[in-house]
Amino acid sequence: MTMRRISGGVTAAKGFRAASCAAGIKYQGRTDMAMLVSDVPCAVAGTFTTNKVKAAPVLWDMGIVYGEKTAQAVVVNAGIANAATGPEGLRLCEGTAAFAGETLGIPPRAVLLGSTGVIGPQIPLDRITAGVRMMAGVLSDTQEAGTAASRAIMTTDTVNKEFAVAFDLPTASGEGTVTVHLGGMSKGSGMIHPNMCTMLGYITTDCAIDQALLQQALSAVVPDTFNMITVDGDTSTNDTLLVLANGLAGNAPITAADEGYGLFCEALFSVCRDLAVKMAGDGEGATRLIETNVKNCDTKENAKAFAKAVVGSSLVKAMVFGRDANCGRILCALGYAGPDFDPAKIEVYLVGDEDTVCFYKDGQVQAFDEERALAILSADHVRFDCDMQTGECGATAWGCDLTYDYVKINGDYRS
């Protein structure tokens, strides 16, 4: 049986428990902390923000992912980012990990951390420790516990984001196959323009896989998923994506880039893409998901540059919000994306579920039926196809429209 979608998120894989609580770090009347714990130590892989100003928990996690390469728990808070907080912010990380480690009976360096929210303020350690204590008592491997965790890490997100898949691998004994699970959750709505990584994302799997291959798989998948979305072009200080693999599925451990590794990569890609697209569609203030497919391009790198320029253009984003078929803006974005192309050869289409409108070909904007274009632009998911006619490579990028609410949310984020 091939890979299939299953319900749930971070607790879909065997041996992972989750909990959440209302720690009152900044938000009132909602949960704002989540914890993930594996029954056994996990191989861990991660990718992190390329922003030069890295939040304290990012620095902490990088130390573990590049150092120990193994971990057993994750503690996350929403509301305050613990970024630009100096030595005190780093001490908060040490204190959190020490307390969580003691509470869970694992080493402090087996505890990964994540924070998201406003940059600058310090997080009170006593609220974090109170939260960890509460959560340690209610850890659960149910789907509901995973879903509650995905809600607790939201900031300006309007929906929680989780996704899981299952696939089959040979058993460790070599007889028959066993089902392996891989699921994750993520949050992200503003300050979204991941570069080498994304906002907070946590993926768990019961697959037995070598840590180096786990990192290799993650590093291979992220450039085509999380790094292909943008909300506002602002790469956060806190972007963190972690994968924890505890090996409890009972599969023959993946130790080489073989068929099983290929299946694992496919599953990881599926989860990463779903979470990434959900983040793009839930961009701050967004009413529509924008997808741009670049086809027949000379290199994949160039295809990516074109696709990202279109979904990142403020003018394209505003036009989608206004459902205005101002196709010249797509041409303009392709034109400043960087790579060279011949404007006389390319073709641009507006693609709906049941209809397609040609915006541009033969070097000029085409006459099109405004009513048909309006109908396609009115859907929740708006897609542009750009045929560059220079080769055989392609790429897809996702973004969202630019709305009054984006301005409203970000004109007064702190209060």
Which are the catalytic amino acids? 198
Helix H or strand E segment including 105:
none
Cβ 306 to a second copy, closest distance in Å?
10
- Cβ–Cβ under 8 Å, residues 253 and 260: no
Cβ 115 to a second copy, closest distance in Å?
12
Among 177, 314, 355, 392, binds a second copy (CB under 8 A): 314
> For a second copy, which stretch binds (CB under 8 A), given 17-25, 39-47, 253-261, 309-317?
309-317
Nearer residue to a second copy within complex by CB, 218 or 333: 333
Among 6, 22, 62, 84, binds a second copy (CB under 8 A): 84
> For a second copy, which stretch binds (CB under 8 A), given 37-45, 154-162, 235-243, 274-282?
235-243
- Cβ–Cβ under 8 Å, residues 356 and 377: no
Cβ 248 to a second copy, closest distance in Å?
38
Kindly identify the residues of this chain, within the stretch 88-107, that bind a second copy according to CB under 8 A: 88-89
Tokens of 347: 């073709």
- Cβ–Cβ under 8 Å, residues 9 and 185: yes
- Contact flag: residue 351 with a second copy (CB under 8 A): no
- What are the φ/ψ torsions at residue 310 (nearest 5 degrees)? -70, -50
Helix H or strand E segment including 254:
none
- Contact flag: residue 333 with a second copy (CB under 8 A): yes
Cβ 221 to a second copy, closest distance in Å?
22
**Partners of 17 in beta bridges:** 37
Q: How many residues bind a second copy (CB under 8 A)?
A: 70
- Contact flag: residue 63 with a second copy (CB under 8 A): no
Nearer residue to a second copy within complex by CB, 69 or 345: 345
- What are the φ/ψ torsions at residue 321 (nearest 5 degrees)? -55, -45
- What are the φ/ψ torsions at residue 54 (nearest 5 degrees)? -95, 135
Q: Residues 11-40 vs a second copy: string with x where CB under 8 A? A: ------------------------------
Among 183, 281, 312, 399, binds a second copy (CB under 8 A): 312
Tokens of 152: 């607790």
Could you tell me which residues come within 8 angstroms of residue 28 by beta carbon, excluding any fewer than 6 positions away? none
**Greatest extent of the chain over all pairs of C-alpha atoms, in Å:** 68
How many beta carbons lie within 10 A of that of residue 190, not counting itself? Answer: 19
Cβ 228 to a second copy, closest distance in Å?
17
> For a second copy, which stretch binds (CB under 8 A), given 132-140, 144-152, 200-208, 402-410?
402-410
Nearer residue to a second copy within complex by CB, 120 or 262: 120
- Cβ–Cβ under 8 Å, residues 286 and 230: no
DSSP three-state, residue 270: helix
Q: The tokens 């080493």 sit on which residue? A: 107
The C-alpha atoms of residue 241 and residue 48 are separated, in whole angstroms, by 6
**Partners of 383 in beta bridges:** 291, 351
> For a second copy, which stretch binds (CB under 8 A), given 17-25, 49-57, 60-68, 200-208?
49-57
The C-alpha atoms of residue 102 and residue 110 are separated, in whole angstroms, by 11
DSSP three-state, residue 153: coil
The C-alpha atoms of residue 311 and residue 291 are separated, in whole angstroms, by 7
- Contact flag: residue 233 with a second copy (CB under 8 A): yes
- Contact flag: residue 252 with a second copy (CB under 8 A): no
- Contact flag: residue 344 with a second copy (CB under 8 A): yes
> Residue numbers of the site for a second copy (CB under 8 A)?
50-54, 81, 83-89, 118-121, 190-191, 193, 195, 232-237, 312-315, 318-319, 321-324, 326-329, 331-337, 340-341, 343-344, 360, 362-365, 402-404, 406-415
